[in-house]
Amino acid sequence: MEASSGLEFPPGFELGVATSSWQIEGDVAGRGRCNWDDFTEIPGAIVDGATGEPACDHVHRLEEDLDLLEWLDVDAYRFSFSWPRVMPEGVGATSPAGLDFYDRLIDGLLARGIRPVATLFHWDLPSPLEQAGGWPERDTAYRFAHYADAVAQRYADRVDRWATLNEPWCSAFLGYSSGYFAPGRREPGASLAAAYHLILGHGLAVERMRAAGARNVGIVLNLIPVLTDDSTMDDAVRHVDGLQNRIFLDLLAGRGIPADMRESCSSVTDWSFVRENDNAVLGTPIDWLGENYYSPMRIAAPDGTDADVIGQDTAAFPACPPLRFAPRPPFTDMGWEIDPEAMELALRKATDHLPGVPLWICENGAAVAEETDATGIHDPIRTQYIHDHLRALLRSRDRGFDVRGYYAWSLLDNLEWASGWTKKFGIVRVDPDTGTRTPKDSAHWYREVLASRP
Ligand code: IFM
C-alpha cells in the first residue's frame, strides 16, 4: 500500500507506538512479583503456559529496542512503568536497579529525539498488594498515589505526558468479575469496588504527580461503542455501556456513579464503598484523555450461541441482563469486529462527558494472520487496519474532534495476557525462542508514513 494514501496529518499530530511493562520486559528476577506472575501459575489461566520470563527480554535488549524506535522515527513512545520494578513490595523502598532501568529508557528516548509518554499502571499490581485484597480495597488507591508520587519525583523533568492508568475496565471487570485476567477472582460486587478505587487512585495520583512537577497528566480508557439493531436490547445496551464506558467517564467528570447503574447493579453490591465526598478527587481535572480503540461491541438477544470474542463475556459485566455478543465480520484473530468508523462514537462519548479535554488514540492495532517468506513478514491485514483507522481518525478530526495523536499497538509481538504468545499484535516480530526482532511489512509501511509527512 502507498504510505501516503489518504493520510494527511495536520502539523504537530503525534504518531508513535506503544507497549507495556509486563508484556515485554522480562527480567522477573530484577523486580518484585506481581499479580500476573501469580496468575500464570494457575493451570490453564494462560492458554499456552507463557510466563513473564522472558517476555521480549526488553530489559536486557533495551539499546536494541531504542534503536528500533529510532529506525521507525516515531515522534513518541508510550511505555508503562512496572510498579514492582520501581517499588518491589508495592510500598516503601524503591529499587535502585529498577529506577536506573527507567532512567536509561527515558534518557535513551530523549537522546534519539523521541518523546517519552509514560503510563504508571498497565495491570501489573505488586503481589503483596493483591494479596492484601487488591483494587477492591480502598487502601490500594492510596498505595497507588504513593507510588505515583515516587515515580513523578524522579522523572517529571523528562516525561512529556503521563497516564495514571491503562484501561481500568480490564483491571476491574476482567480481573475481579469474569476472572479472565489476574487475579482471576469472580466476584462481581468486588469488581465494582475495584473500578471505583482505580479511579480514586487515579485522582489521588494526579494531585501528587502535579505537586511533584509532572505536566500533562491524564488517563487511558478503553471506551467501546455498544451497538445493537434490536430495540428490545436497548436496556441491555444501557447496562453494558454503563459498565464499559459511563461509570468511568462519570467518575472522571466528578459526577459519581451513574444513577441508573446504582440501580441496575443493586443485586450484586450495596455500594457501601462509595463516599459522596470523594467526587472532587475522582473528578480531578485531567490534561488529556487516551482512548484505546480496537472494535465496537454488538449486542443481540440470546439464542443459545456464543461468539468467541476475547474480552466480550457477560461474566465481565456484573448483574448483566440476558444478551449475547454478536460481532460481525471481518474479524481479527481476537474475534474482534473491524469497524474503523465506530471509533468516532468512542470519541464522541469522551467529548460529551469531558468537554474540552484533548484526546489521543493510545492504542490501535490488530492480531492477524501473517506470512513469512524469503522477502519478509507479510501482514497486509494489519497494515490495512492501521491505515483505515488512521484515515477514519483524521476524518473525525476534520469533523471537529480534538484528537492530537495516535499510537500503534504494538511495537513488538509480546505476551498478550491470558492469550500468551498465541495472539500477535506487533509491527515487529519477536521470535519467542530467540528474541530476534524483525520488522514486518506493517513496520516498514508505518515508517514510510512517518517519513512522508511534510
Ligand atoms: O495487549 C493489550 C494491551 O495491553 C491493552 N489494550 C489491548 C491490547 C490488545 O489486547
pLDDT in tens, 335-361: 999 999 999 999 999 999 999 999 999
First to last CA, the chain: 19
Q: How far is the CA of 313 from the centre of ligand 1 (A)?
A: 16
- Concerning whether 363 is annotated as a catalytic residue, the answer is yes
Cα of 214 vs centre of ligand 1, distance in Å, is 26
Atom of ligand 1 nearest to the CA of 416: 1
For residue 417, which atom of ligand 1 is closest to its CA? 1
Ligand 1 centre to CA of 416 (Å) is 7
Q: Please report the atom of ligand 1 found closest to the CA of residue 292.
A: 6
Among candidate residues 130, 137, 337, 363, the one labeled active-site is 363
Residue 41 is a catalytic residue: no
Nearest CA to ligand 1 atom 2: 416
Which is the closest atom of ligand 1 to the Cα of 409?
A: 8
Query: pTM for this one?
Result: 0.98
What number does the ligand 1 atom closest to the CA of 414 have? 1
Spacing, Cα 363 to ligand 1 middle (Å):
8
AA letter at 69:
L
List alpha helices for 188-276, DSSP H.
Answer: 188-211, 234-241, 247-252, 259-264
CA of 411 to the centre of ligand 1 (A): 12
Q: Which residues line ligand 1 (CB under 6 A)?
A: 20, 23, 167, 292, 363, 409, 416, 425
pLDDT at residue 432, rounded to an integer: 81
Indicate which residue's Cα is closest to atom 4 of ligand 1: 20
Spatial separation of the C-alpha atoms in residues 7 and 174, rounded to whole Å: 35
Q: How many angstroms does the Cα of residue 77 sit away from the middle of ligand 1?
A: 16
The whole-number pLDDT of residue 306 equals: 84
Look at ligand 1, atom 1, and give the residue with the nearest C-alpha. 416
What is the pLDDT at residue 307?
87
d(CA 274, CA 255): 12
Chosen CATH of 14-452 out of 3.20.20.80, 3.40.50.620, 3.30.230.10, 3.40.1710.10 = 3.20.20.80
Q: Which residues of the chain have pLDDT under 70?
A: 1-5
CA of 170 to the centre of ligand 1 (A): 9
Q: In the structure grid, which three cell numbers stand for residue 285, read together?
A: 481535572
Nearest-CA residue for atom 10 of ligand 1: 416
The residues spanned by each domain of the chain are: 14-452
Residues 167, 291, 337, 344: which is the catalytic one? 167
> Looking at ligand 1, which residue's alpha carbon is closest to its atom 9?
416
